Amino acid sequence: MASLTACGPAATGLEQDTAHQLQEQVLGVTKAAASNDHAAALTVLNKLEADVAAAAGNGQISEERRRRIMTSVAAVRADLTGAMDAAAEAAKAAEEAAAAAAETAAAEKIKADAAAAAKAAQENTTPVIVAPLPGPAPEQANGKKGKGKGKNE
């Protein structure tokens, strides 16, 4: 991340009280960025930028010093914006991966449920009892054999 050390009190073109105030804000930006709270870091950076403009307007910061600070502010802003964009992309990719995993899990559950239902249906089906085929016709009571072979005997 770009450095905002251009706000140090030892440099010329910057009053000591103003330098101290700006250093506190730089520390706030640094702490927020270090804890990955990029939105808070940008908020503090915006305040720093406004305070630098106000201090320059009041003659507390020379124009040269203001330009150097603003160059550093722009570099830090670019770093923070890039980090926020990367975090947003990572969150989107994680969300898409989670959705894909959930979809896969749902499909696997549907397959497992269908297999379980098929197995249950198979286990709970009443067995089919096949009745025996009727055998040959019994002999007629008058002693004659039925039609067919051996009729003329």
Going from the first residue of the chain to its last (153 residues), give the mean pLDDT of each consecutive group of 10, the final group possibly shorter. 47 76 90 90 93 92 92 92 86 86 83 79 66 66 56 54
- What is the rounded CA–CA span in Å between residue 12 and residue 9? 8
pLDDT reported for residue 17: 86
pLDDT reported for residue 45: 93
Does pTM surpass 0.75? no
Residues ≥6 apart with Cβ < 8 Å to 15: 55, 60, 61
Question: Can you give the residue ranges of every domain in the chain?
Answer: 5-93
Residues ≥6 apart with Cβ < 8 Å to 71: 6
Q: Assign 25 to helix, strand or coil.
A: helix
